[in-house]
Every structure is written in C-alpha cells, then in structure tokens.
C-alpha cells in the first residue's frame, strides 16, 4: 500500500517537473522559435496605465505589445514608441504568439522600415 502511494507521488512529481521544464524551456527558447518580421499599419497606440516601458500598438487585425522584456533581451521600448504614428505602415520584428483570449500579445522588438500613409505624403 505504501509503495502504491509512493509510486503515484513520484509520477505526480515527475509530471510537475516535466511541465516546469517545458514552460521555462519555452520562455528561454521563445525568441528563437517565434521571431518573425511582419508588416503592420498602426490604428492606435496606448500606454499601459502609468507604467513606464509598456505600450500597446493597435492594428486592424492584432494588438501588439511594446515592452521591455528580459526573456526577449529587449530594453528599447521607450526609444521606439515615439517613432510609431497613426496611419503609418511599419515593417517590424516581433516575438511571441498572439492569443487574445488570455491577453498574450506579440512583442515588437525593433522597427525595420517605416512607410507613411498616402495622405501624409501629399502635405
């Protein structure tokens, strides 16, 4: 009876350890697994409350995060946020997976290219 309890306990603890390794392994390897370059057109921008270094960039199809992140080796969110303007199209490097139902947004790492909209070019 004690061996059955110890066996079940060891299976449970093994499962917890494997789950923890997978979660922290994903956090470590996320920049390598999910890095991509996308083209976005900015619809709106917002600051995350009064928190410094955390911003939202809204597009027609997706919401992006611009925040400093240790796992993404990013600490330039305050420098690139002023470069975003409504109506402009940007080619940006992003990391992460977009899951709106759990508030998981892709993080903008860097701006590669900027293109103004056609109305701002005529004036």
| Mean pLDDT computed over 86-99 | 90
Measure the CA angle with vertex 109, ends 46 and 105; round to 5°.
Answer: 55
Pick the residue with more confidence: 19 or 73? 19
What is the rounded end-to-end Cα distance, in angstroms, of the chain? 83
Q: What is the pLDDT of residue 122?
A: 44
pLDDT for residue 121 is more than 60: no
Give the model's confidence band at 99: pLDDT under 50 very low, under 70 low, under 90 confident, else very high: confident
Q: E strands of 12-117, at which residues?
A: 36-41, 44-47, 54-58, 63-67, 89-95, 106-115
Give the model's confidence band at 12: pLDDT under 50 very low, under 70 low, under 90 confident, else very high: very high
Partnered with residue 111 across adjacent β-strands are 92
Give the model's confidence band at 1: pLDDT under 50 very low, under 70 low, under 90 confident, else very high: low
Q: What is the pLDDT of residue 56?
A: 93
The Cα 46–Cα 81 span in angstroms is 10
Give the model's confidence band at 123: pLDDT under 50 very low, under 70 low, under 90 confident, else very high: very low
Read off the pLDDT of residues 39-91 as tens digits, 9 standing for 90 and up.
999 999 998 877 778 899 999 989 999 998 877 778 888 899 999 999 899 99
Mean pLDDT score across all residues of the chain? 86
Q: What does DSSP assign to residue 116?
A: -
What fold, for 35-122?
Answer: OB fold (Dihydrolipoamide Acetyltransferase, E2P) (2.40.50)
């Amino acid at each position: 009876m004690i061996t059955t309890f110890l066996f079940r306990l060891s299976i449970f603890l093994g499962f917890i350890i494997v789950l923890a390794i997978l979660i922290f392994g994903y956090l470590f390897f996320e920049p390598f697994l999910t890095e991509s370059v996308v083209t976005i057109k900015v619809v709106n921008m917002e600051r995350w409350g009064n928190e410094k270094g955390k911003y939202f960039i809204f597009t027609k199809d997706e919401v992006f995060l611009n925040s400093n992140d240790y796992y993404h080796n990013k600490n330039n969110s305050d420098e690139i946020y002023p470069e975003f303007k409504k109506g402009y199209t940007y080619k940006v490097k992003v990391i992460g997976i977009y899951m709106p139902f759990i508030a998981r947004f892709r993080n903008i790492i860097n701006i590669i290219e900027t293109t103004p909209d056609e109305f701002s070019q005529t004036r």
